[in-house]
Structure 1
């Protein structure tokens, strides 16, 4: 490529909101390096730091016929542009992009794929291993760099000999520690008042789509077990999804509907965390959950179910608790422990806050810069080795 022509990078995913939620700092970083930034995903969101955006009909289900059309569109876009780097995210975004990039790789394009959590993992259903494992194993051969965001996925990819030319581990997508941070008590109470809550309310917060994996039913059952002992307990559930109405029915059946605020989609998560006393999380499967990182960065103790993502972030009894996913009784007991001791609550929250220093956006940008620079023609093998050794 001539020196006078900007190099191009293409970011791909299933849906464009993925980039708005998690990757704007990295789009900006490429712009700051003088690169032309393209994005391809389903949706019509206007994204900053993007020179060209393609609306591709990617579907989450691997069996949806629209993905054939999406593959053809990815292939045309990649064929029409001389991308130096393609960075793909999400399972179907990763599958379709890597298949569509085969010819481009022969011309020198480098393909990076970030795994936000393999669907096959410890405890995953057999069908996940039968379907997703062979797909990811084969497609690793079409990957120059496979990025994992938790240790379990990193070890799985390395011990199962995935054939990506390089396998790296980074601290997730990063958390904005300038927005998500603790507040003094006076500010907390002022924010509570503005949002309709009392100073002495015991607020438990969870932000997630209402679906089977997020498992909000467990939180509702746990609240029902402590409702008589903790009369000021309230559960704040932000998000929408297919199981929202079902969860409302469960709340009514357990007579806790007046203790739960179903908040719907919210754009003020940082304020909801600032007014809360504890972060709760009930999902069955996570890669490295941003909602938990944001809660820890806000100085909250976390009570969560056991899975690879939660266990990566939560050191049991140090900065929170991890509980078996089907044990509402044990979950409720841990809530009571935190409720009864402000000192414990403060201790757990401070430990989590300290841990988040390694997960800040500024830290992750440095880690990704080391990876990107290898494919931008810069020699940063030494710095890559340094950060990998510090994490593994």
Structure 2
């Protein structure tokens, strides 16, 4: 019997989730994943241990549907194997005591699941995971998923993998320092929203988006290739609005902020800037020419214009101040400071330990 599993919401949790509804995952949720309701009407499960498994563990918390998951502990949960999420759950990392909660050394998988909300969670795979074919977060075949204010780093296959998705949002998150393939996110499927994210030191796929997509108010730093479609990506529509691409020491071709966007794509691109001189000053120029794509005169998605309420320069300021899990830990602080060098610092890593951060590069929670 799990005494830590409680059915019905306590008054504090009721206040925390009162904004959630069938129409909106939470106040401020945007994009295609915002229709997720998670486990907001289900049981509340308290994670009370950092152990990999057993009563009160994160693995046990996500093993059943219709749960609001809250954290009574802070620190890293070190996975002994990949952990699979159930459908219809909400993971509320913001409930953890300071300095917050993180998952390390294994994959968090929402593969083939639906209706999941994840907020303020750190997912740091790294090479302590012996399976280099897995990612930090996998949502292949998933439907109605929103990641908000998450921090994803040291993914081996991809930081975020999502082939066969329907209605996902990645928002206000930091996707940094992929190792292995050194890819940020691989998304294929129906509809995807990327809003207000900070992408740091990835070789490519920031993201690779083979889907009808919204890409708004993102900041991409030290890229070798930025927003990517790939020539085999199929025919999709893309709203690319008010993003900032900033070259760094690893950037080998500064014009690859848009990559492999072919004539089969339809793109609305406006207000995007690229700073390519690596001089330590934010002084980019507008760059809205997107390969051989069909140029749209208006956004294809009805809410893209409303979402794009910050200029690229304002997005830079806002994203660097607000993206990622809160409070910021050592890894995210390092990612942000790397971006703030504005072209003078940055490495595309093959091993998290090479960052020189504590705890073998994972940082200490």
Q: Which category describes the TM-score, using the shorter chain as reference length?
A: under 0.3
Higher strand fraction: Structure 1 or Structure 2?
2
TM-score, normalised to structure 2, is 0.26
- Which has the greater radius of gyration? 1
Higher helix fraction: Structure 1 or Structure 2?
1
TM-score, normalised to structure 1, is 0.25
